Amino acid sequence: MIEDLADRYHEYLERWKREAGDVPIGSFTKYKGKLIKKMSFEEFSPILLEYLEMVTRYEESVERGDTINDVVLKVLRDQAAQLMLTPPSADVKSTPEIP
């Protein structure tokens, strides 16, 4: 995973350009109802790693039939928005795909 962070960041920049236009790092836009900042690579990497770890734990919980706290869903949605990704949904297993 760590070895493809640069590729993931370039994909993020492409998503940003497609969704919000070609703006400088540090610019803000509204995305899926949330105000998000265009991140530098240094900002992006830890957020992506944390998000992917949370999605893995979330999907394991769903598979076990655990009750999912609304706060967990909110954090997942917020982080997905920061990364311009679609968050996993409670009714279907969804691995975070990066277009």
Question: For the whole model, what pTM was predicted?
Answer: 0.79
CA distances 19 to 13, 46, 53, 79, Å, are 10, 22, 25, 16
Residue 63 clears pLDDT 70, i.e. is over it: yes
Tokens linked to 28: 């803000």
Closest CA to 47 of 76, 15, 4, 25: 76
Helix (H, G, I), strand (E, B) or coil at 89: coil
pLDDT tens readout for residues 6-25:
999 999 999 999 999 999 99
Hey, where are the domains in the chain? 2-82
pLDDT the model gives residue 94: 45
Closest CA to 81 of 44, 31, 41: 31
Rounded Cα distance between 6 and 11, Å, is 9
pLDDT tens readout for residues 44-60:
999 999 999 999 988 88
